[in-house]
Amino acid sequence: MTASVYLHKGREKSLLRHHPWIFASAVNQVKGKPHKGDTVEVLDAQGKWVGRGAWSPDSTIRIRIWTFNETEVIDNAFFLRRLEDAIAARRGFESITNSCRLVAAENDRLPGITIDRYDNVLVCQLLSAGADRHRDKIVWALEKLLPGLSVLERSDVAIREKEGLPPLTQVLHGDVPETITISENGMQFTVDVRTGHKTGFYLDQRSNRLRIAAHAQGRSVLNCFSYTGSMAVACLKSGAAHVTNLDASESALAMAAEHIELNALDPADCENIVADVFSQLRAYRAANRRFDMIVLDPPKFVENKHHLNQACRGYKDINLLAMQLLAPSGILATFSCSGLMPEDLFHKVVADAALDANRQVQFMEKLSQDSDHPVLSTYPEGWYLKGLICRVT
């Protein structure tokens, strides 16, 4: 028998606006004994049905809503429909790349499910109790919709711990090679789908690589948190005089060097430095080193709302350092990938860094995640990537 979850009075308001999360504090009463990942019926304090979702007893997000349609059953056909709709929304990317995000979790009305395509391999992250419970249905639907493609699960991120789930990396279907070569806007990249960051590559920065590279011609570029150097390739392709990749990972920079050769670029035009970015920027400042263009794409600084002030200090520090290293009329491309960092606050942090650096900064362009990472209108948390291209004088 399906369990029913009754909410405290007034806590159904976000569900009536079709936000997909119910926090533990909103739950008043549970009738039945749902197990982790089970589908439960959600009712308001008066017993009116408001949604159907996945039960997660270990998480502060106690229920993630699958559907707001009372007649919709969470079965194989449900996942087939939702996946088919998500895949159809990405049609058109084939002309510029053989890789894109096919499913963006809550933004595609599939909470906890992320699926990226790298040529003939699908890399899945099943990060919620409900997604984990329906693994077989998801793989079945993918085989129906995209026959002949292999499926790798990369559910190896810390957020699964909050759901009471162990980290997992496993092949779910077909054969998965150690690395895959992808194409993007005329560039080639090698992706380590088994152990690379996220699912192996930063697909969300696809359009930003071109927009930033458009400012690179003739400039010396410092590419911070460079990972495998995709931004460096884009800048050199656009005529950058020289690029310095800076990252803490020696293996990522080894792949960055391979990407220079893979794209028939001159290795002499690219330097790879293994170092802590904050420390290295201070060392460059002490040495009075200057660059014409700096790219800052740091990892997530904000894990929860309690860390927001600390994250702001980190963002301000790194942007201040970058501004101090830029030559007059230099270009700064700066990002936050923290979903909990509001866009207006990030802009304020960059502006405050400019004041402390005693530099004049003009915001030239706003940047965000590429269009294969859509944002559901009822789920503003999905708009996680904020970026600016700035002129610094």
Contact 18, 45 (CB under 8 A): no
Catalytic residue among 124, 224, 235, 337, which?
A: 337
Structure letter (DSSP) for residue 51: E
Specify the 3-state DSSP secondary structure of 36: coil
Closest of 161, 154, 302, 280 to residue 225, by C-alpha: 280
Report which residue type is found at 303: E
How far apart are the C-alpha atoms of 237 and 335, rounded to whole Å? 22
How far apart are the C-alpha atoms of 359 and 208, rounded to whole Å? 24
Q: What are the Cα distances from residue 80, in Å, to 46, 53, 136, 143? A: 33, 17, 12, 10
* Cβ neighbours of 143 (radius 10 Å): 16
> What is the DSSP secondary-structure string of 268-335?
GGEEEEES-HHHHHHHHHHTT--EEEEEE-PPP--SSGGGHHHHHHHHHHHHHHHHHHEEEEEEEEEE
Specify the 3-state DSSP secondary structure of 99: strand
Active site residue 100: no
Specify the 3-state DSSP secondary structure of 348: helix
The catalytic site residues sit at 337
